[in-house]
Structure 1
């Protein structure tokens, strides 16, 4: 009677079992065979790049670049960020993220230009592109020679781009405080000196930077503002907003589109890793520059170091943070306002309507912090309603700010708060005045059912 592998007592099958096991491919060899013996995952021809950055281990140089540009283009087209009639302003800081954003916007413009020249009816116009750099040398101790050299490098980067040419706007950050009587430098320094908290001072400086970009965009006819915020920057912001008590307004800052500003802000690199952007600059030889780069301190510095440590241990963690926060319900202004212009192609308007948020998929908010422009929660509005009867401007102004700005930016002394308010740029004060009117209207609408009419008042 023949024996089997399960009943054999003489171990005659044992060697055959070992031979069969040794002939099985290892998991690593299976991966290599699926990847055509270590070739590029996409083209199956070239060797992949040897790097630890995102897709660098799977793609060759050409496919890596093509995949990264596809992420950018998918974000732009899916969220209707740029239409043929737009005038786009790219915020350029000199770093790798803003450099890639500028390059990709430039390539989209080039392709649109070629399509325009090849078309017979010239029905699709080509969107315009400008570049803005915020000069913060007035509040940073940087030698003037280094600043001048940095400006020249930025001019070279922009001028070396192939046609169509780009307008370069260098905006002094003190311009938000300037008037006919002064250049704004002294007022800006006094404003920042009034903030004693290191984190609050950095946050205020970031708000002023955004105001500067909004101002130059509005004054020069731009209707889109492109920021080069990548996954790392957004992941840091997610944790920062959480620890600063700004969880309610967090969804507003991490979406592809933020139209609460006069000029809508778009983030086309939201899904791109910082390591990927650095790798692309290295591969294509994109020149970057650090004109004014001061390290973060306080809470901002701690969170930045923490997220970078997480990324070193596992490069996908920054993406995990952003994807998790992306599940939060966005606000109604996290979309491009619908276009009714007949000059805009019908396909563009349909795409925008298809990808825009539905009313039941968003949170409505018409009230914003007087300093950072963050949306205020209902509890913030109720607190504001409780102090509206107070005649002290400083108390009312503090109530019009979010809890984070109250704690980290505003002085604790009411007298100093009033002085701080007078140092704020006029754009912020006018915005606060408009927001206050909206707050009162919203509060009245919320308590309308509890109010007595004039007839009921006479009866009582």
Structure 2
């Protein structure tokens, strides 16, 4: 039988406080509003043990970066962290860390009518006292070193070392062969931009707003795209290959629980959330614009409604994977910058010979692109690089 989860609870009493009436059922447990809010806060904060006040030296304020996508998860995480810092200050007179929030503006690239500046202004008004910034995606070329291998990933003859970052990004994205490749490269560049910005601010780590549902989506989509070897770094708390700590405080909470939290919070968080961000995209199986990420998002958001344990099991299973130790001599993928310790680059490194002779398949060894990135970068780029 499917497990009961977040839904209307009727007139049942709250199973925890035994006093108030429940407002929803969470994983088979009727909860009132206050107990549910406490449930969400507790789930998130217990994942942030290293950021407690006792681990922070007086006068040495640690800083963490919070990427804001204006989805329900990142907005809820900001709300929880803001409340947590106020609680720390009231109890001890100081806080264990400070927050730097970053919004990556990719509305022009995705051609979406989104007013990030308006949403950011609302958030700054509701949660003052934190450091806020917004960067366009093309700034990844400004923040990365000039000799970064990422700069070579375009065959546009008009692109040179003096080409503005926005034109360089446009040239790269215009050369990609499919919607999945485009979405994959944009996601990869967004991660690298966030990492570089965090380093430039001297941040100790990055707090990602990924829920259980999002991590399950990422597990299957990255595996399907040929980047399964990187899952221990992409989904687990701890040191990342980028030299900065990744942490996922919402990893024990389903997306629908976060949606319920945003609705029940006082005041509601919906004015701060990007419109329709909580709804599953109804992707057409025959649409050329449908991406692997779209399909995984649609699948897991439907599964979590009746079978939340399946979503949680995917994440728990993935958390058991052990990341390889990273050595300074390990080569890195030119696009995603993940270490490929044994030098197995490209199609022939991970995919065997099944792609030989297939029209449109990437050629050569991928020119220091991991298997997943080789699938996103078209043959024309790897071939051109091989001739240069």
TM above 0.5, one fold?
Answer: yes
**Residue 255 (structure 1) aligns with:** 236
Contact 1:245 1:404 in 2 (8 A): yes
1:131 is aligned, of 83, 90, 101, to 101
**Helix, strand or coil at the partner of 1:171:** strand
**Residue 406 (structure 1) aligns with:** 374
Give 1:371-450 correspondences, 5 Å limit: 371-376=335-340, 378=342, 380=344, 398-412=366-380, 414-417=382-385
Deviation at 1:64, TM superposition (A): 0.8
Deviation at 1:93, TM superposition (A): 0.9
CA displacement 1:114-156 (0-9 Å, x = unmatched)? 2342xxxxxx66422121100113312235xx53xx3122222
Aligned equivalents of 1:276, 1:411: Cα separation in 2: 43
**2:19 matches 1:45:** yes
**Residue 158 (structure 2) aligns with:** none
Deviation at 1:186, TM superposition (A): 1.0
**Residue 272 (structure 2) aligns with:** 288
Give 1:49-448 correspondences, 5 Å limit: 49-51=23-25, 54-55=26-27, 57-77=29-49, 80=50, 83-84=55-56, 85-117=61-93, 126-143=96-113, 146-147=114-115, 150-161=116-127, 165-178=129-142, 183-284=164-265, 285-286=268-269, 287-290=271-274, 297-332=290-325, 366-376=330-340, 378=342, 380=344, 398-412=366-380, 414-417=382-385
Contact 1:252 1:331 in 2 (8 A): no
**Helix, strand or coil at the partner of 1:169:** strand
Please tell me the root mean square deviation across aligned C-alpha atoms, in Å: 3.3
Contact 1:96 1:278 in 2 (8 A): yes
CA displacement 1:78-116 (0-9 Å, x = unmatched)? xx2565341111111111100111111212221222234
Aligned equivalents of 2:386, 2:120: Cα separation in 1: 39
Query: In the comparison of the two structures, how many residue pairs are matched?
Result: 331
Aligned equivalents of 1:250, 1:217: Cα separation in 2: 21
Contact 1:88 1:222 in 2 (8 A): yes
Deviation at 1:254, TM superposition (A): 1.3
| Higher-helix-fraction structure | 1
1:365 and 1:289, CA in 2 relative to 1: closer, same or farther beyond 3 A? farther
Aligned equivalents of 1:413, 1:203: Cα separation in 2: 16
Structure 1 segments of 4+ aligned residues over 3 angstroms from their partners: 54-57, 178-183, 291-296, 330-333, 363-368, 381-384, 394-397, 412-419
Aligned equivalents of 1:381, 1:413: Cα separation in 2: 15
Aligned equivalents of 2:164, 2:81: Cα separation in 1: 33
Deviation at 1:311, TM superposition (A): 2.1
Contact 1:332 1:364 in 2 (8 A): no
The structure having more radius of gyration, on CA atoms, is 1
Deviation at 1:40, TM superposition (A): 1.2
Aligned equivalents of 1:38, 1:158: Cα separation in 2: 38
Contact 1:256 1:266 in 2 (8 A): yes
1:314 and 1:365, CA in 2 relative to 1: closer, same or farther beyond 3 A? farther
Contact 2:105 2:136 in 1 (8 A): yes
Aligned equivalents of 1:323, 1:140: Cα separation in 2: 32
